[in-house]
Amino acid sequence: MMTIELIPAEKFTLQELTDLYNQTRVDYLVPMPMNANRLGDYIHDFDIDLARSCVARTADGEVLGLCMLGVRQDQAWITRLGVLPAARRRGVGLALMDCMLENAKSVGAVATQLEVIKDNLPAYNLFLGKRFTETGEYLVMRRAPHPSSGPLHGNVDWLDADQALEIQRSYPNHLTWINAPESMRNARDVEGLRLKLPDGSAGWLVYRNTKYTLRSTLSHLIIHTEQGDPNEVGTQLLLNIHTHYPHHDTYAENIHIEDAHLPAFQTLGYFENFLRIEMIRSSNI
């Protein structure tokens, strides 16, 4: 029987955590490795508490896996769970999950949420076993930069970060952790636009505009129709943003599979990368 030690992730360097995370994901369904800079941004933007995140290792100091915990007021979020391929089926994932749930409880979280890629059955079953229940399925979509076609209608107001964050507060539906107002506030690159069409239809779009060395990327799109047909309003919002930013690659993450704006996304050339399932567990269980 292997002894598993759980060490707070704060005891490791960002590079060590990055290397371990990447090693746990080499055979993942959708491999998405990170570098230390990206992991640093992730920790910052999503309120990861490294003191309450864990690295699993043997008594000999051999690392086995890791898991991170985001904490916001009375909510917690489990993320980056990964076990090295050679260490799987030995209870490491279970030990990491137990540690995260215990840490969530210790900070007073009334609920803990997480996301799992659809068809990742080992992880999904682990979470079910820990009494997480599904709350919804979310699409991760991409759009390559290309000229948008279609006439632009209505009046558009472009919003700066403060205005975009303010309008996002009126969003009536549930947002997953990475698109929640706290995540967008933590990011330094939020923008938005508000649209009013001649027939009185109206809506808004909030997003992140991240500048890289050579190109910029639009991501974390949150779209809302205040009045009118979501397909028409959504199409105009997306047409405006892609006309305004014709060379930006776009990554729309965690759009609910029943979002009324999905036809608009498809019209504008978005395609599915993969599906995530959000799950939640009450701390009272």
Which residues are near another protein by CB under 8 A?
18, 22, 26-35, 37-38, 142-146, 212-215, 217, 247, 249, 269, 271-274
In angstroms, the Cα distances linking 256 to 29, 98, 272 are 20, 29, 12
Between residues 204 and 270, which has the closer beta carbon with respect to another protein?
A: 270
In a 3-state reduction of DSSP, which class is residue 207?
strand
CB of 216: closest distance to another protein in angstroms?
10
CB of 166: closest distance to another protein in angstroms?
30
Residue tagged 């909030």 (tokens): 206
CB of 123: closest distance to another protein in angstroms?
17
Report DSSP state, residue 48.
B
Between residues 3 and 212, which has the closer beta carbon with respect to another protein?
A: 212
> Which residue type, as a one-letter code, is found at position 285?
I
CA dihedral (193, 196, 197, 201) in degrees, to 10, reads 110
Spacing of C-alpha 239 from chain mean position? 24
Handedness of CA 125, 131, 136, 138 (dihedral sign): negative
Between residues 58 and 216, which has the closer beta carbon with respect to another protein?
A: 216
Between residues 37 and 125, which has the closer beta carbon with respect to another protein?
A: 37
Task: Write the burial class of residue 178 (CB in 10 Å: 0-12 exposed, 13-18 middle, 19+ buried).
Answer: buried
CB of 158: closest distance to another protein in angstroms?
23
Between residues 144 and 152, which has the closer beta carbon with respect to another protein?
A: 144
CB of 57: closest distance to another protein in angstroms?
23
- The helix or strand, by DSSP H or E, that contains position 17, with its residue range, turns out to be helix 14-24
